[in-house]
Amino acid sequence: MLGDWNNKSTQIGIRRFSALAFPDGLVERILLAHSNRAEGKGFVEIMNCGTRAWRATLRVVRRAAAVLLVALAVTPFHAAEASTFQKVYASSNQALLTKWGRRYERGEGVKRNVDRAIRLYCKAAKKGHALAQYYLGWLYANGNGVRRNDALAAAWLRKAASRNHPQARNTLKLLRTKKKRSAQCLLSDGLPIGTKRRHAAHPAKGRIGDMVRNLAPEYRLDPNLVLAVVEAESNFNPKALSPKNAQGLMQLIPETAQRFGVKDVWDPEQNLRGGMGYLRWLLDHFNEDVKLALAGYNAGEKAVQRHRGVPPYDETRAYVKRIARRFESLSARQGRSDDPVGVGRNPYPAPRLLADIPNREPLPSSLRAPGFIP
């Protein structure tokens, strides 16, 4: 496999490889022993390399092979996943589209992506697939990665119920909404599929932006509000440190980090979770008033309570005004009809989970389809 060991170019190649993968001097000794053997001095020289050296070599080779395999596997992962989605989306098989939509919604075997789930559900639902229509209704009813919209949920559930889907009929009764609208497929940014998205999203791109958009719905927060706060606090620098010892993406002081269970303030996800937890607490505390919550985030909730409103501090007032304008601008660009900051209310109300609806009776197990989420 290695060709002529006595060939000079072969030995140079082996030495270069050995510098990367093998213990110091091992291959040199093997080459020397082989050269001696070629001259009739015997194979015993090779054995003098020692069992211990061979075992060390084997460990190194195994580690190198593992690293190589991981590198080869990870490099095309995202491209392969995108290719898989395109192939599934091109299918006309409604059951297949719905099955893969469920996988993307739940992150089963693929990276969770609600927008891809909606696209797949929507294609199957428009062809009349009752289960896909039901899943869309359930998604919008719970606000699971998208803005909760009872009227839109009811529109899709009615379609599924008209095709004799038992869970859709029961869920529709639990919603108790009188609003009627056409069944649309709205993605996580609130815009219909096919809408030209120029400046639709916050300019934050990459891992931190994706992390915020994935985590914010867990805390019932608009991702754009969180991104506006991160932008004002640290300008997306996870290593930011203020003179007042505020740390990380959301500039948590040690007391706030401890209060909200942050163990490593320099870990981006932990920092975001701590900041979002505090922001959600402030919104709950101040009855969903965004301006008061932002003032509390900057100056502390006690200062807001003491002054019965936004404290008369120049820094705090400028902070609230800057984030309010940024958030309002982003919301307007996404085509929202509400004016979330202008009226001082959080545009992402607490998701109205079906489990929280009063007097809800659990569905009989006989009516639950496979994969039903109670």
Q: What is the mean pLDDT of residues 225-235?
A: 91
- β-pair partners for 2: none
Query: Residue 15's pLDDT is what?
Result: 52
Query: Residue 156's pLDDT is what?
Result: 94
Q: What is the mean pLDDT of residues 184-210?
A: 73
Q: Check: CB of residue 234 under 8 Å from CB of residue 228.
A: no
Q: State phi, psi for 75 to the nearest 5 degrees.
A: -55, -50
Of 52-61, 124-133, 200-209, 332-341, minimum mean pLDDT range? 332-341
Query: Residue 354's pLDDT is what?
Result: 32
Residue 196 CB burial class (10 angstroms; 0-12, 13-18, ≥19) = exposed
Q: Is the pLDDT of residue 367 over 50?
A: no
Query: Residue 9's pLDDT is what?
Result: 55
User: Domains of the chain by range and CATH?
Assistant: 8-74 (no CATH), 91-175 (1.25.40.10), 207-333 (1.10.530.10)
Query: Residue 294's pLDDT is what?
Result: 95
Q: Check: CB of residue 31 under 8 Å from CB of residue 49.
A: no
Of 80-89, 149-158, 282-291, minimum mean pLDDT range? 80-89
As a whole-number percent, the residues of the chain with pLDDT over 90 amount to 40
Query: Residue 38's pLDDT is what?
Result: 47
Query: Residue 247's pLDDT is what?
Result: 94
CB atoms within 10 A of CB 278: 22
Query: Residue 146's pLDDT is what?
Result: 80
Q: Is the pLDDT of residue 21 over 50?
A: no
Q: Is the pLDDT of residue 17 over 50?
A: no
Catalytic positions are 233
Give the DSSP letter of residue 289: B
Confidence of residue 256 (pLDDT cuts 50, 70, 90): very high
Query: Residue 29's pLDDT is what?
Result: 53
**Lookup: tokens for 255:** 């007391």
- Rounded Cα–Cα distance for residues 334 and 327 (Å): 11
Q: What is the mean pLDDT of residues 29-39?
A: 51
Q: Is the pLDDT of residue 295 over 90?
A: yes
Higher pLDDT, 219 or 19: 219
Q: Is the pLDDT of residue 16 over 90?
A: no
Q: Is the pLDDT of residue 251 over 80?
A: yes
Query: Residue 132's pLDDT is what?
Result: 95
Range among 162-176, 193-207, 212-226, 272-286 with highest mean pLDDT value? 272-286
Q: What is the mean pLDDT of residues 318-332?
A: 82
- β-pair partners for 135: none
**Entry pTM:** 0.42
Query: Residue 283's pLDDT is what?
Result: 94
The radius of gyration of the chain's CA atoms, rounded to the nearest angstrom, is: 30
Confidence of residue 55 (pLDDT cuts 50, 70, 90): low
